[in-house]
């Protein structure tokens, strides 16, 4: 807040007296009565600018046109018709064109990390995805928070951090850094081969997604998936829709081959193999998936306790 200024006296004696009165007022040893008297004299000698003389002209009352315009705006806002239909449709069309051009421009300037995030979603059986699922399952099981975080989101965060080659959290669930590094290098190798074989594939994929979003209605009750994860989500939905009674044995063998500990336990004897396959079939029929926590629990429940070759799984 700016300090009010005083009007300087026109005479030399007046300005000298103003300075004396200022010293009297600012002196802490001045008596209260003397300070009040000096203040009154100073106000008369050098009054404050625009102080004590407010404008006597009252504000003009609103006109009838202004009142009617205000009523029209309130009624239009209440009915949701602030803009006319033509201008609103034009604005939406212009925004759609601008968003499309911006999305295509971003796809043309995409970094290798962004392309790799899209490519890994198209390869759910890639070693990098498997390592991320194992680590996310262990972290989710050890998490004591309630509610627990989304395990699929944890998998995506883990893969994204590994692809960015961050200097921290670069090891898998067993503490092995080399396995993660080899999987990341293999994915970037696949990305380089695809860029050479299909130049502009990332831009064409973005255009295809934009065209599908323009044709298909967007459900308001469901969140729109991230562009880099839509292919992976679509594959999961397609897998759930498929009848589980078709090729169930092949699916069981695929899950068993993906888990080295269960595969080794199944090879120990025919009894273990049949028991593990039966448990996997029941799980696929009831849930249509076998996550890391289920596989670890199945191994720990069926492993022989008296053999050191089958230690308990702690991840």
Domain boundaries, given as residue ranges, for the chain:
12-45, 66-99, 112-202, 248-302
Give the whole-angstrom CA distance, residue 68 versus residue 72.
Answer: 6
Euclidean distance between the first and final Cα of the chain, in Å? 63
* Lookup result for tokens 């039966």: 278
Full-model pTM: 0.40
The proportion of the chain whose per-residue pLDDT surpasses 70, expressed as a percent, equals 76
Q: Give pLDDT tens digits for 159-181.
A: 888 998 877 778 888 888 899 99
Q: Give pLDDT tens digits for 26-47.
A: 998 888 888 899 888 888 888 8
What pLDDT does residue 74 have?
A: 75
What average pLDDT does the structure give for the chain?
77
Give the three-state DSSP class for 48. strand
**Spatial CB neighbours of 171, under 8 Å, sequence gap ≥ 6:** 177, 180
Q: Give pLDDT tens digits for 272-302.
A: 888 888 888 877 777 777 877 788 888 888 8
Mean pLDDT of 77-97: 59
Q: Give pLDDT tens digits for 49-74.
A: 765 454 445 666 778 777 777 877 77
Both tokens assigned to 112: 């290798």
């Amino acid at each position: 807040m700016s300090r009010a200024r005083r009007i300087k006296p026109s005479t030399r004696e007046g300005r000298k007296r103003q300075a004396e009165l200022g010293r009297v007022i600012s002196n802490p040893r001045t008596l209260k009565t003397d300070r009040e008297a000096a203040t009154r004299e100073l106000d008369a000698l050098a009054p404050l600018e625009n102080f004590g003389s407010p404008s006597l002209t009252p504000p003009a009352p609103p006109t009838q046109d202004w009142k009617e315009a205000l009523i029209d705006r309130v009624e239009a806002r209440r009915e949701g018709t602030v803009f006319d239909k033509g201008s609103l449709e034009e604005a939406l069309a212009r925004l759609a064109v601008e968003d499309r051009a911006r999305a295509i421009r971003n796809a043309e300037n995409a970094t290798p990390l962004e392309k790799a995030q899209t490519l890994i979603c198209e390869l759910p059986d890639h070693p990098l995805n498997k390592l991320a699922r194992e680590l996310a399952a262990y972290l989710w099981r050890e998490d004591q928070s309630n509610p627990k975080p989304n395990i699929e989101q944890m998998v995506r965060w883990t893969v994204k951090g590994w692809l960015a080659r961050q200097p921290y959290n670069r090891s898998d669930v067993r503490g092995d850094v080399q396995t993660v590094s080899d999987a990341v290098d293999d994915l970037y190798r696949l990305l380089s081969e695809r860029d050479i074989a299909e130049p502009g594939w990332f831009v064409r994929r973005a255009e295809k997604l934009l065209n599908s979003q323009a044709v298909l209605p967007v459900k308001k009750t469901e969140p729109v998936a991230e562009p880099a994860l839509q292919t992976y989500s679509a594959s999961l939905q397609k897998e759930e829709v498929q009848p589980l009674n078709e090729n169930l044995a092949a699916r069981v063998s695929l899950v068993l081959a993906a888990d080295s500990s269960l595969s080794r336990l199944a090879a120990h004897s025919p009894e273990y193999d049949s028991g593990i396959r039966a448990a996997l079939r029941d799980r696929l029929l009831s849930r249509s998936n076998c996550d890391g926590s289920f596989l670890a629990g199945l191994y720990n429940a069926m492993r022989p306790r008296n053999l050191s070759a089958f230690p308990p799984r702690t991840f």
